[in-house]
Amino acid sequence: MSSPEIASLSWGQMKVKGCSTTYKDCKVWPGGSRTWDWRETGTNHSPGVQPADLEEVVKKGVQTVVIGRGMSEALQVPPSTVDYLKKNGIDVLVLQTEKAVAEYNALAAQGVKVGGVFHSTC
């Protein structure tokens, strides 16, 4: 199963190819995507992305996770989250969201089993 292309990104809106839903924040993995609802894990801009936000994506057997920190990079990614991914043998890229989407799409196009979590506003 391949990772779906992120078809479009603008402030507060993301579309994943093959999915009719428009996301504000989203999670993607080989074969799927869904809304990333921060309330599920109590996520806020600080301290930011928690390992619990990534567990679902990790369980999909990804080789690489791309984290989009927002258009202005307001979303933090603590070292403990990066360590969690590395301990699971997963490469991690933490980037501004537009750059993160470009990198994610490039990896997906190369056939890498890539997943991601993306914040589309601040």
Instruction: Enumerate the domain spans of the chain.
Output: 6-118
> pLDDT (tens digit, 9 = 90+) per residue, 28-63?
999 999 999 999 999 999 999 999 999 999 999 999
Among residues of the chain, what percentage have pLDDT more than 70? Answer: 100
Where do we find the tokens 């507060």?
12
- How much of the chain exceeds pLDDT 90, in percent? 99
pLDDT recorded at residue 108? 98
Q: Do 118 and 108 touch, CB atoms closer than 8 A?
A: no
Amino acid identity of 120?
Answer: S
pLDDT range class, residue 23, cuts 50, 70, 90: very high
Cβ distance 75 to 121 under 8 Å? no
Structure tokens at 98: 């537009």
Question: Do residues 114 and 5 make contact, with C-beta atoms less than 8 angstroms apart?
Answer: no
Using 50, 70 and 90 to split pLDDT, how confident is the model at 26? Answer: very high
What's the pLDDT tens digit per position in 82-114?
999 999 999 999 999 999 999 999 999 999 999
- Residue 9 three-state SS: strand
Look up the pTM and report it. Answer: 0.98
Domain 6-118: which CATH class?
alpha beta
Widest Cα–Cα separation across the chain: 35
